Amino acid sequence: MSWLDQVFSGASSKRTMIAPAEALPGRPTPVPLAASNVVLGHPMRGDDPESAAGIGTFDGYQVVVLAGGCFWGVEEIFWQVPGVYTTAVGYAGGFTPNPSYEEVCTARTGHTESTLVVFDPQVIDLEGVLKVFWETHDPTQEMQQGNDVGTQYRSAIYTVGDDDAQLARDSAQRFGAVVAEAGLGAIATEIASLEQAGDGRFYYAEDYHQQYLAKNPNGYRCHASTGLQYPA
């Protein structure tokens, strides 16, 4: 997907977060969304999404929103993790309501490409999900992953609730010690509860982005991993 970086403003300006007052206006209407994840067969949107940061509630399941670069490849990783009930891609941490992909690519919405991960805590806990997250991208890269440059590629963890946000910060400290021992830079991952990130909502991406690599197996993947393992 990095070809769109060539179309709009230069890479240096795309690394700078937009101020809320300068963000694109967006629109009041969300994009149409298929009923179910085409790989896992479960709904991508929970019940009563308007009261739950645009995601809805999934009874019996836990939710986290993760950003680790191009969301096509991130989603593909997590739909293969045992215990994951459903996944979806979208935009979070920004200020433009219901942005389009093209708008996000301008770095004028403040969003990062994100993956909704809904999982069964009886099978895998949040730390187990975060272990996969830390090991499959490079959280030391600020405002980029590999050749993909810009605020839309920043690393982020958006939790549902402050307790999960603290657990995520603790996991970042644990992985940060591993990263430091390897001589790499500090963890640059943004960590917050979803309600406190940007305008507090997750916006589902256009349907053609959902489970993109299942629909297009030879599609683009970017995994700028450090090659390091999260400590047991």
Q: Tell me, yes or no, if 70 is annotated catalytic.
A: yes
Number of CB atoms found within 10 A of residue 206's CB: 14
> How many Å separate Cα 78 from the centre of its chain?
11
Q: In angstroms, rounded to a whole number, what is the distance separating the alpha carbons of residues 209 and 20?
A: 26
| Whole-number Cα distances in Å, 123 to 43, 47, 206 | 19, 22, 30
DSSP string, 69-85: SSHHHHHHHHHTSTTEE
Instruction: Please identify which of the residues 18, 65, 70, 117 carries the catalytic annotation.
Output: 70
- The residue whose two tokens read 């795309």 is 14
Q: In angstroms, rounded to a whole number, what is the distance separating the alpha carbons of residues 164 and 173?
A: 14
Dihedral through CA 98, CA 85, CA 157, CA 76, nearest 10?
-80
Looking at the annotation, which residues are catalytic? 70
